[in-house]
Amino acid sequence: MSDSTPTVLFVCVHNAGRSQMAAGFLRALAGDLVEVLPAGSEPADGINPIAVEAMAEVGIDIGGGIPQLLTVDAVRESDVVITMGCGDACPIFPGKRYEDWVLDDPAGQGIEAVRPIRDEIRGRVERLIAGLG
C-alpha cells in the first residue's frame, strides 16, 4: 500500500454480511486503488451464506472471508470508517472520515430480502469510490 492509497474500514456487528458485501464490492470496483478492511464489534464464526449467495449472483466471491474483530489499530490506519449498525463500538479518531450506513441486517433473512440490501450497498460503494477520487 502506498501513502496515496486510501484505506476504508467497513464495520458491522458480526462482520459476516453487510461489511463483507461492502468490502467485496469495493475490492471488485476499485481494485488496488483502495485498501479494504472489514471488521466487526462482535465477529461471527463465519460469513453469512445468504450474503455469499447474493454476492455470487453478481459475480463476486466473498466466501473466503473471515470475520475479524474490530481493533483500535484498524481504525487508526484507516482514512474512511464506515459503520453499519454497530453503534458506539467504533473508536473515534480526529481527522478520520466517518459515515454511518443505515442498512437492514441480512442475518437470518432469505435471499429475496438480502438482494435489495446487496444492491443498496453497491450503490453506496459506487458513491464512496466517486468521493475518494
Q: What is the pLDDT of residue 89?
A: 62
Q: Which residues contact 55 (CB under 8 A, 6 or more apart)?
A: 21, 24, 61, 62, 118
| Topology of the domain covering 7-128 | Rossmann fold (3.40.50)
Distance between CA atoms of residues 94 and 37, nearest Å: 19
Q: Which of 8, 9, 11, 12 is catalytic?
A: 12
Q: What is the pLDDT of residue 133?
A: 67
Task: Give catalytic status of residue 73 as yes or no.
Answer: no
Q: Which of 11, 30, 86, 103 is catalytic?
A: 86
Task: Give catalytic status of residue 90 as yes or no.
Answer: yes
> Looking at this protein, which amino acid is placed at residue 42?
E
Q: Which residues contact 111 (CB under 8 A, 6 or more apart)?
A: 50, 53, 54
Q: What is the pLDDT of residue 87?
A: 64
Task: Give catalytic status of residue 58 as yes or no.
Answer: no
Q: Indicate the pTM of the whole model.
A: 0.92
Q: What is the pLDDT of residue 91?
A: 67
Q: 10-residue block means of pLDDT along the chain (133 residues)?
A: 79 93 97 93 94 98 95 92 77 82 94 98 97 81
The residues spanned by each domain of the chain are 7-128
Q: Which of 13, 39, 90, 128 is catalytic?
A: 90
